[in-house]
Structure 1
Amino acid sequence: MSADLDSNNIHVSSSLGNSDNLHQQVLASFPLCDITEEDLTQNPQFCKLLATLAQHVNQTGLTVPLKTELEKAEQKLQSQRHHWLRSESLYRGLQEMIQDHCVRKQHASVPADQNMFVETMEKCLLVAQCVKQLDPSSTTNPDQPLVLGLTPQQVMELMPPEKNVQIMKESLPRELEKHLKKKCLSVLSFYQPESENESEGLKTSKLSYLSARLDKEKKSAESLKDTCRENTVLLQRQTQLYLSELIKCIQLLQSLILNNRLKVQTELDRKKLDYFEGKCELLSQKIKLEMVEVQLDTYPTETISAHKKIREKLESERKACQVEKQSLELKLASFEILGKEFETLAEEYYRLRQEIEMKNWALKEFTQYNDM
């Protein structure tokens, strides 16, 4: 076994050295695997393993011995299926003959011999079916009680007379052939509707090769189905490659758009800023101009200059008051830190100051009246 593997490795190595389409060969050997040529290129050892494995298994992943056993099992299953289908077709054909006879009896009179033939066949089928149900097989329990207490021998006693059975057996091939021919003609009419108006001999001639033609078309349909399956796998692989390449292109396009947009956006923002700055400056100058015009329309030039001086003086006083206010607020904040005791002293100090001012005013008034 090791010698075989070594020889296979040598063969694979020679393939790697001599063939440029090893990846395509591996992909063709394993069509059901979800791998791409890029995967094989990135993993050369894995590619060698698949190439070696392809010499021992087929495209479905089965080895040669297992494939042989599977073919034998399929042949055996096909033989048993053919045998069962033949028996089942015969049984259903007989059942259809019985149903057709019942339908004809409802619409018209039926000859006595035909009626006896069908009744005998129906009884024989029913007895045979009951015997088959009552006959114990190797898979059933031998101690299992019989259905309704009946044995196959008791059911066989219900068979029609031997004479009628013999007549039925003699007529059965002919009647069954007529029924099957009728069904075949129905199939031919469905398959080739134009054959409805043809002669009986021509229809019979077409029936002789209808089976071969249907089999040929079936094989053709299966071949087309296999081709469609292979094309589906190939399409899926190509779709994956296409999507991967498309994603790369989209990412590249996004990066280009983002970079260009950032550059353009920066330049656009700078121009907008310059525009708004110029517009703001223009509006400011326009407002100043309007204010000057309003002043000139309202006051003379001397009054305007006086107003400016007054405004400047008031503005300086306002600023001085603002500074004094801030200073007093700071002092007040520092006093508030001392608590309620200092607040009581401050109130007492304020009260004393008021009394002193009142007494000074009274003293001043008194002194003024004395001088008079």
Structure 2
Amino acid sequence: MSAVSESTHISSLGKADSLRQRVLASFPLCDIAEEDLTQNPQFCTLLATLSQHVDQTGLTVPLKTELDKAEQKLHSQRRLWLRSESLHKGLQEMIQDHCIRKHHATVPPDQNMLYETMEKSLLVSQCIRQLDPSSTTNQDQPSILGLNPQQVMELLPSEKNVQRMKQSLPRELEKHLKKKCWGLLSYYQPEWESESDGLKNTKLSHLSALLDKEKKRAESLKETCRENTVLLQRQTQLYLCELMKCIQLLQSFILDHRLRMQTDLDRKKLDYFEGKCELVLQKIKTEMVEIQLETYTADSISAHRKIREKLDSELKACWGEKQSVELKLASFEILGKEFEVLAEEYCRLRQEIEMKNWALKEFTQYNDK
């Protein structure tokens, strides 16, 4: 039973894959990825149903049929217009070539008459076309200089010259067109220019097929280039998505590595600074010892010792005097406030005595002088 269900599941997966591939092939111009169809199966089914009614460009079958008919009609009208236009351009080129030859060499009278008749006929036909641009319109066209087509047709060359032109024109036109075709053949394959006229004519008969083949090849390459462009855009999008995932993963790795290595780095920096501080302290102690050795010699040390001993003895004597004074003060404090008044009076009298002694001394010195 499980084997049957597994085979059914596999077949359903295969059908889903083929359906997605068919949808992607039916709508090559739409920017749809296979992941979008996988995540939205109902949308994939809708596109598959829609592909049965529209083509790859999004047109319905009836509209595509009408468009093909309109394009065929347009192509036929374009061919007719191109035929007449190319014939008109060819005649104008023949007239220009004749004018150039006439200025550089002597032209036979009959040929000169032929091209003059052709030029006048073209000018008259062009003027008639300007006077009556459309034979299908029902609106009145404004006249130019008050002329009508009948008046312009009177300027045509004589019937005799026109008949001669019509007899000679196909041969001259054939020569001119053959010359242009040979120029096109030489442009297409420059190495064929030095070959004989018969071989050129043979290759010229196959030139249209070659050009058509080159055109189809160019269109095929253009279509392939467009498909490759769409494929490249999809692959670029996928590549950018994968690249962003890789960048995010790399950023997480860098952050984890940085946090893990930061503790070791801080510890090493702390050890380095501790060692540097210890070195600086040792250097300071060394400098202090050197300064002391340079400052305090043996004589200065012995003198300092004597001074210290004398100061110590004086300090001991001062301490002893201080203690005796403090004992006297303590004995005086026992007598109370009355003695304090007597002590203040005694101090005042002493100060007055000192002041009078100083004044007497100064007075005596002034009298001696």
Q: TM-score normalized by structure 2?
A: 0.75
Does residue 170 (structure 1) correspond to residue 167 (structure 2)? The answer is: yes
Give yes or no for contact 2:131–2:143 (8 Å, CA) kept in 1.
yes
**Aligned counterpart, 1:58:** 55
Quick check: 195-204 or 235-244, which moved more? 195-204
Choose from 90, 94, 114 the match for 1:97: 94
Give yes or no for contact 1:98–1:122 (8 Å, CA) kept in 2.
yes
Question: How do 1:25-36 and structure 2 match up within 5 A?
Answer: 25-36=22-33
**Aligned counterpart, 1:339:** none
Deviation, structure 1 residue 266: 2.5
Q: Secondary structure at the match of 2:206?
A: helix
Provide the C-alpha distance between the structure 1 equivalents of 2:142 and 2:184, rounded to a whole number of angstroms.
46
CA 1:15/1:51 → structure 2, altered by over 3 Å: closer, same or farther?
farther
Provide the C-alpha distance between the structure 2 equivalents of 1:83 and 1:144, rounded to a whole number of angstroms.
26
Provide the C-alpha distance between the structure 2 equivalents of 1:234 and 1:165, rounded to a whole number of angstroms.
63
**Aligned counterpart, 1:45:** 42
**Aligned counterpart, 1:366:** 352
Q: Secondary structure at the match of 1:158?
A: coil
Provide the C-alpha distance between the structure 2 equivalents of 1:137 and 1:29, rounded to a whole number of angstroms.
46
- Runs of 4+ off more than 6 Å: 14-17, 138-141, 368-371
Q: Secondary structure at the match of 2:193?
A: helix
**Aligned counterpart, 2:326:** none
Provide the C-alpha distance between the structure 1 equivalents of 2:356 and 2:110, rounded to a whole number of angstroms.
174
CA 1:188/1:286 → structure 2, altered by over 3 Å: closer, same or farther?
closer
Provide the C-alpha distance between the structure 1 equivalents of 2:272 and 2:48, rounded to a whole number of angstroms.
70
Provide the C-alpha distance between the structure 1 equivalents of 2:198 and 2:294, rounded to a whole number of angstroms.
125
Give yes or no for contact 2:132–2:141 (8 Å, CA) kept in 1.
no
Quick check: 103-112 or 278-287, which moved more? 278-287
Q: TM-score normalized by structure 1?
A: 0.74
Give the residue type in structure 1 aligned to 2:256: N
**Aligned counterpart, 1:232:** 229
CA 1:21/1:242 → structure 2, altered by over 3 Å: closer, same or farther?
farther
Quick check: 166-175 or 88-97, which moved more? 166-175
CA 1:150/1:284 → structure 2, altered by over 3 Å: closer, same or farther?
same
**Aligned counterpart, 1:24:** 21
RMSD: 3.1
Deviation, structure 1 residue 119: 0.8
Choose from 199, 204, 210 the match for 1:202: 199
Q: Which runs of 5+ in 2 are unaligned?
A: 1-10, 313-344, 358-369
Give yes or no for contact 1:136–1:142 (8 Å, CA) kept in 2.
no
Provide the C-alpha distance between the structure 2 equivalents of 1:199 and 1:105, rounded to a whole number of angstroms.
28
Q: Tell me which structure has the larger Cα radius of gyration.
A: 2
Give yes or no for contact 2:128–2:152 (8 Å, CA) kept in 1.
yes
Quick check: 101-110 or 37-46, which moved more? 37-46
Choose from 172, 181, 201 the match for 1:184: 181
Choose from 65, 69, 80 the match for 2:66: 69
**Aligned counterpart, 1:245:** 242
CA 1:144/1:72 → structure 2, altered by over 3 Å: closer, same or farther?
closer
Give yes or no for contact 2:120–2:157 (8 Å, CA) kept in 1.
yes
Quick check: 158-167 or 265-274, which moved more? 265-274
Q: Which runs of 5+ in 1 are unaligned?
A: 1-13, 311-358
Does residue 131 (structure 1) correspond to residue 128 (structure 2)? The answer is: yes
Give yes or no for contact 1:15–1:22 (8 Å, CA) kept in 2.
no
Deviation, structure 1 residue 223: 1.1
Give % identity: 75
Q: Secondary structure at the match of 1:91?
A: helix
Q: Secondary structure at the match of 1:148?
A: coil
